[in-house]
Amino acid sequence: MSRIGRKPVPVPDAVSVEIAPGNIAVKGPKGELRQTLSAEMKVEQEDGTVTVSRPTNRGEHRALHGLTRSLIANMVEGVTEGFEKRLEIQGVGYRAALKGKKLELALGYSHPVAIDAPEGIDFEVPQPTEVIVKGIDKQLVGQVAADIRKRRPPEPYKGKGIRYKDEQVLRKVGKRA
């Protein structure tokens, strides 16, 4: 395997990385993450960096190279700083509350919607109209936030629903009399 396209990932001192064939484990102050990697990518650790190299310059190897490097970089960032997604709730009577580890949402249905926090995810509700999803796994944080948003996506006429903090909802003009 040649060393075509090397991309180093800096690793802080507080983080330990274990590389096995096809697997990588990253352990840091916030927790531990494990990931299965493609056997075609060569992953090496040397003095404070993890380097990913690809065997050829073919399109699928270049794509896999970028994916592998991004996964490792996200794992390192997750165990050191963590990730969060912020959601806003807009609408009259729409609100969120934390009941233990469960997130309880009042979204205009006849019943409250309860969402259990998966392993490794924490919810915060600083205001009744704001939800923060926190965790060390970037993919899991994004998936849980998307699942919460899916319960009542923002509608285009009045803008009511759950949206990401920085999301722009395109508004439609209603009926004209």
CA angle 44, 50, 52 (to 5 degrees): 65
- pLDDT value at position 1? 45
- pLDDT value at position 3? 56
- pLDDT value at position 4? 64
Q: What are the backbone dihedrals phi and psi of residue 14, each rounded to the nearest 5 degrees, phi first?
A: -75, -5
Mean pLDDT of 26-46: 93
Residues 6+ apart with CB under 8 A from 8: 49, 50, 51
Please give the share of the chain, as a percent, with pLDDT higher than 90. 83
Cα–Cα distance for residue pair 48/14, rounded to 1 Å:
10
98-157 pLDDT, tens digit per residue, is: 999 999 999 999 999 999 999 999 999 999 999 999 999 999 999 999 999 999 999 999
Is 0.85 surpassed by the pTM of this model?
Answer: yes
Residue 5 predicted with pLDDT over 70: no
- pLDDT value at position 6? 67
Residue 165 predicted with pLDDT over 50: yes
- pLDDT value at position 104? 96
78-115 pLDDT, tens digit per residue, is: 999 999 999 999 999 999 999 999 999 999 999 999 99
Sheet bearing 31-36, strands edge to edge:
16-20, 23-28, 31-36
DSSP annotation of 61 reads: H
Cα–Cα distance for residue pair 151/91, rounded to 1 Å:
14
- pLDDT value at position 97? 96
